[in-house]
Amino acid sequence: MTSVHIDGAQLRLLELPLRFRFETSFGVQTRRTILLLTLRSGGVEGYGESVMELLPAYREEVVPGAEYLIRELLLPSVLGRSFAGPAELGEVLAGFRGNRMAKAVVEMAFHDLYARTLGVPLRDLLGGTRASVPVGVSLGIQESVDATVDLVARHVEQGYARIKLKIKPGWDVRPVAAVRAAFPDLTMTVDANSAYRLSDSRVFAALDELGLDYIEQPLAYDDLHDHALLQGRLSTPLCLDESILSAQDARKALASDAGRVINVKPARVGGHSESVRVHAVAQAFGAPLWMGGMLEAGVGRAHNIHLATLPGFTKPGDVSSASRYWEEDIVNEPLEAEGGRMPVPAGAGIGVTLNEDVLSRVTLRSDEFLPT
Positions marked active-site: 166, 265
Q: Is 191 in the site for Mg ion (CB under 5 A)?
A: yes
Say which entry of Mg ion, ligand OSB, none residue 138 contacts (CB below 5 to 8 A, set by partner kind): ligand OSB
- Which residue lies nearest Mg ion, judged by its C-beta? 241
By beta-carbon proximity to ligand OSB, the closer residue of 28 and 346 is 28
CA distance from start to end of the chain: 26
- Site residues for ligand OSB, 195-234, by CB under 6 A, read none
- Site residues for ligand OSB, 60-119, by CB under 6 A, read none
Q: Is 53 in the site for Mg ion (CB under 5 A)?
A: no
Say which entry of Mg ion, ligand OSB, none residue 294 contacts (CB below 5 to 8 A, set by partner kind): ligand OSB
By beta-carbon proximity to ligand OSB, the closer residue of 164 and 272 is 164
Element (H, E) at 4: strand 4-5
Sequence-distant (6+) residues with CB within 8 A of 234 are 204, 208, 215
Count the neighbouring beta carbons within 10 Å of the beta carbon of residue 28.
10
Phi, psi torsion values for 310, nearest 5 degrees: -65, 150
Query: What is the residue-wise DSSP string for 149-196?
Result: HHHHHHHHHTT-S-EEEE-BTTBSHHHHHHHHHH-TT--EEEE-TT--
- Site residues for Mg ion, 205-234, by CB under 5 A, read 216
Is residue 164 within 8 A of residue 136, CB to CB? The reply is yes
Q: Which amino acid is at 245?
A: L
- Site residues for ligand OSB, 114-153, by CB under 6 A, read 138
- Site residues for ligand OSB, 12-71, by CB under 6 A, read 58
By beta-carbon proximity to ligand OSB, the closer residue of 245 and 294 is 294
Taking the complex as a whole, the smallest distance from the CB of residue 262 to ligand OSB amounts, in Å, to: 12
Say which entry of Mg ion, ligand OSB, none residue 67 contacts (CB below 5 to 8 A, set by partner kind): none
Count the neighbouring beta carbons within 10 Å of the beta carbon of residue 84.
12
Taking the complex as a whole, the smallest distance from the CB of residue 182 to ligand OSB amounts, in Å, to: 21
Q: Which amino acid is at 345?
A: P
Sequence-distant (6+) residues with CB within 8 A of 97 are none
By beta-carbon proximity to ligand OSB, the closer residue of 138 and 309 is 138
**The pairing of beta strand 27-41 with beta strand 8-24:** antiparallel
Binding site for Mg ion (CB under 5 A): 191, 216, 241
Residues that bind ligand OSB (CB under 6 A): 58, 138, 191, 193, 241, 292-295, 318, 320
